[in-house]
A and B are shown apart, each in its own frame.
Chain A
């Protein structure tokens, strides 16, 4: 038998490892903290507009999200995953979609429900069907409908008072109220609304940074925003007196926050490019339909949750064809 020959010179060390051979240095915790950092300006503006109390809301949500995650992991005898930042991020996201000055008890309850029912019951991070933060918010909305729709106006005025959000004005108010809606204030965030959703400016800064870093797939926010402009614009063209213009749809409520930070959740959004487009456009259509014809003034949360449920089906329908695969007759 011939002796095996090799071209490897003497003294060269060969390292053998299994794939993947190219590593990006990206990790779950790094991605989570990047998102948290991108949300920071939004949170800061929320605290600035609505008062220091909102810091307590954020702290409560994050603390109870971590607590719920640790407890669930311990009960299921799994490795603790507190440091990957996903639970903390869920808490932060939930806090920012709660109304200002919400009771801390509700905040804690929503956090625990979101983590336990929204995530851990399904098997933890990566297995959840629905965005945990939105599950927590949906639960709070169903459990405490009045507390969840009490909007405190920004604290810049000496006396904080409650008031309707621009969306509610547009839906339930008269012509005078509609005419009084100030797009400038909506852009900077000096309006009634959830803690983190009022300032379009801060959300766009953080969101664009995420897209530029590649943390968030650009197709999700782009398709949602495009869809809302198109669908909202169509209705606006049909009857401008009844249906608000698309800019209003964009700046109002949680649309931008949802598009950049909620719908873009890696676990609950679809995978393929075409599925992402369908996902985003469908969210936009649902948002416009719920806002204009539904019983509630805002529908971003439900639109995203519904499309979360559809995401696996979209993946299946848009599975890329293998190279050389024959078309079915």
Chain B
């Protein structure tokens, strides 16, 4: 049997290494549409996380009873149940936010991130691992939405979470609160993430090279090891 990944990495995978937005490029529809402000981003992220964790739990619990021919329909049914709960709770408790997010709350049902995790992870793993995975993905998504929404809010309306952070002299960039601003910002975020990854790879490669060919350039502690 394949060795299972440790529990910790099941959770941390979603934060950076397999971040749903930055690495898997999933959930683009809510990512681009609702991130006009950091607050919207957090709300959307939390709503999705709730649905993801709940659905993963249920799917993981019943995974051995779902016939594989109808598994997608079953997942959708489970997801839709929780999305309906989120939708009604938001309408009852956070009407303003519900209006701001509009149709994108019901659309969580067809969010490929959630369906993807059921198919790829929850249906093959026991509940505790499925919940950790869902939490990691959810937190990763929420963080990304927060950063994207935050950048757009700061540049597009001088505010962060409703507080003014840039002086009045700064002319807000209207483009940032338009859809084009979402594409531009996300593109730059991808670029930064790729640059970080590339730098990491370069450093790792250099490390290997030094260990094999130039042990004398290593730190004294590492030298002993080598």
Is the beta-carbon distance between B174 and A145 smaller than 8 angstroms?
yes
Main secondary structure of the interface of A (DSSP, over half): helix
The listed residue with most B CB atoms (<10 A of its CB), out of A103, A142, A143, A144, is: A143
| Nearest-Cβ distance from residue A122 to partner chain B, whole angstroms | 12
Q: Closest chain B residue to A139 by CB distance?
A: B175
Chain B proximity mask over A5-46: 1 for CB below 8 Å, otherwise 0: 000000000000000000000000000000000000000000
Residues of B with C-beta under 8 A to A142:
174-175, 178, 180
Set B171, B178, B191: member contacting A106, Cβ < 8 A: B171
Q: Is B121 an interface residue (CB 8 A)?
A: no
**B contact residues, range:** under 10
Q: Is B50 an interface residue (CB 8 A)?
A: no
Q: Is B176 an interface residue (CB 8 A)?
A: yes
Per the bound structure, the CA–CA distance linking A147 and B175 in Å amounts to 13
Q: Is A105 an interface residue (CB 8 A)?
A: yes
Per the bound structure, the CA–CA distance linking A261 and B176 in Å amounts to 29
Chain B proximity mask over A141-154: 1 for CB below 8 Å, otherwise 0: 01111010000000
| A91-133 interface (Cβ within 8 A of B) | 103, 105-106, 117, 121
Set A106, A117, A121, A143: member contacting B176, Cβ < 8 A: A143
Per the bound structure, the CA–CA distance linking A218 and B72 in Å amounts to 60
Residues of A with C-beta under 8 A to B184:
117
Is the beta-carbon distance between B171 and A105 smaller than 8 angstroms?
yes
Set B171, B178, B180: member contacting A144, Cβ < 8 A: B171
Per the bound structure, the CA–CA distance linking A142 and B178 in Å amounts to 9
| B98-116 interface (Cβ within 8 A of A) | none
Set B171, B176, B178: member contacting A147, Cβ < 8 A: B171
Residues of B with C-beta under 8 A to A139:
175
Residues of A with C-beta under 8 A to B191:
121
Q: Is B173 an interface residue (CB 8 A)?
A: yes
Per the bound structure, the CA–CA distance linking A265 and B173 in Å amounts to 28
Per the bound structure, the CA–CA distance linking A145 and B173 in Å amounts to 9
Residues of B with C-beta under 8 A to A105:
171
Per the bound structure, the CA–CA distance linking A121 and B184 in Å amounts to 12
Residues of B with C-beta under 8 A to A103:
171
| Nearest-Cβ distance from residue B75 to partner chain A, whole angstroms | 39
Per the bound structure, the CA–CA distance linking A252 and B171 in Å amounts to 30
Per the bound structure, the CA–CA distance linking A106 and B175 in Å amounts to 13
Per the bound structure, the CA–CA distance linking A72 and B178 in Å amounts to 27
| B164-186 interface (Cβ within 8 A of A) | 171, 173-176, 178, 180, 184
Chain A proximity mask over B139-175: 1 for CB below 8 Å, otherwise 0: 0000000000000000000000000000000010111
Per the bound structure, the CA–CA distance linking A272 and B175 in Å amounts to 36
Set A106, A117, A121, A144: member contacting B174, Cβ < 8 A: A144
Per the bound structure, the CA–CA distance linking A144 and B172 in Å amounts to 8
| Nearest-Cβ distance from residue A208 to partner chain B, whole angstroms | 36
Q: Can you list 10 pairs linking A and B with CB atoms under 8 Å apart?
A: A103-B171, A106-B171, A121-B191, A142-B180, A143-B175, A143-B176, A144-B171, A144-B173, A144-B174, A147-B171
Residues of A participating in the B interface, judged by any CB pair closer than 8 Å: 103, 105-106, 117, 121, 139, 142-145, 147
Query: Apart from A121-B191, A143-B175, what 11 extra A-B contacts exist at CB < 8 Å?
Result: A105-B171, A106-B171, A117-B184, A139-B175, A142-B178, A143-B173, A143-B174, A143-B176, A144-B171, A144-B173, A144-B174
The 7 closest A-B pairs by CB, nearest first: A142-B175, A143-B173, A143-B175, A143-B174, A145-B174, A142-B180, A144-B171
